[in-house]
Structure 1
Amino acid sequence: MREFKPRNTTRARELRREATPMERKLWRYLSGGALGARFSRQMPVGPYFADFLCRELMIVVELDGHSHDLRLAHDAARDCFMSEAGYKVLRFTNADVQSNVEGVATAIQLAIEARRQDRSG
């Protein structure tokens, strides 16, 4: 049995305050349920923090900057943990958001619709 660990809300708050420009840009598309589902920023999922999380549909959206190129094994372990916990993980690069934020938003919206369809049977 795992020992209960309280959520690190202080760290989550710091991460939200220190959001990258691309996280802020994508948040404008995700906030307020604009794509048909409610997302929260920098939410704890196990030992990790999801950049964006839809609890209802268990969708995680991750934005990868240059530092992620050096952390491929860490990101793979993180994705595996989240997938095994039932989350659908969507990864986009900062370049994707910079050059085609509407396309990224459409991809997320399609994932939302697919997840709803899967859950409705």
Structure 2
Amino acid sequence: MKTTLEKTTQLVCEPEECLASLRPVRDALEVLSGRWKIPILIALSNRPKRFKQISKDINGITDKMLSKELKDLEINKLVTRTVYDTFPPTVEYASTEHSKSLNNVIMALKDWGTLHRKEIIGN
């Protein structure tokens, strides 16, 4: 018997074609891997925020981990860091136009997570 997910979609490709598609999938997973990157992008999706605002929005993340993840997201052009000439300096983080291309991916993950939760625990 097929699961709900198997009924709705199937990966259909020749073996060589499927193997060729693994590289971009690996690239995407490398950029978004870990527990915190997607929550950070969601926290920044509506407006720019300062470091402590992001930290408060994401329960459980340490300052060290938030700093590391923001740097990774900045390297991958998903987040910008703006330093304002104030005393003390004000630093603001914002999502980029490029990060908005992930909106459908994030929504698809949310939908899949909901289906998966129902499949596994019935909620």
TM-score normalized by the length of structure 2: 0.27
**Higher strand residue share:** 1
Could you tell me the TM-score, scaled by structure 1's length?
0.27
